[in-house]
Amino acid sequence: MADWNFIRSQPPRLRAALELYVETSDIRLAQRVSGLILEDFIELIKKAGIRTGL
């Protein structure tokens, strides 16, 4: 599950990182793509409504 409206509203780099995370569950790779520090990327995942084991 994810809030696709939220994900699509993000800047291209963050949108790509969130989509990558949804597709692969590779948080480290997606976090590097986003350019955010890990803690901030985790917060973004939560805002996007992506269900994780985090």
pTM: 0.92
Distance CA 16, CA 53 (A): 21
Quick check: is 52 in a domain? no
pLDDT digit string, tens, across residues 39-50: 999 999 999 999
Residues in the chain, pLDDT under 70: 53-54
Does 53 map to a domain?
no
54 domain residue, yes or no: no
The answer to whether position 31 is within a domain reads yes
Query: How many domains in the chain?
Result: 1
Give residue 53's pLDDT.
Answer: 61
29 DSSP 8-state letter: H
State residue 54's pLDDT score: 56
Residue 9 belongs to domain spanning: 4-47
Alpha carbon 40 to chain centroid distance? 10
What letter does residue 15 receive in the DSSP assignment? H
The pLDDT assigned to 1 comes to 84
Question: In terms of Cα–Cα distance, which of 5, 7, 15 is closest to 36?
Answer: 15
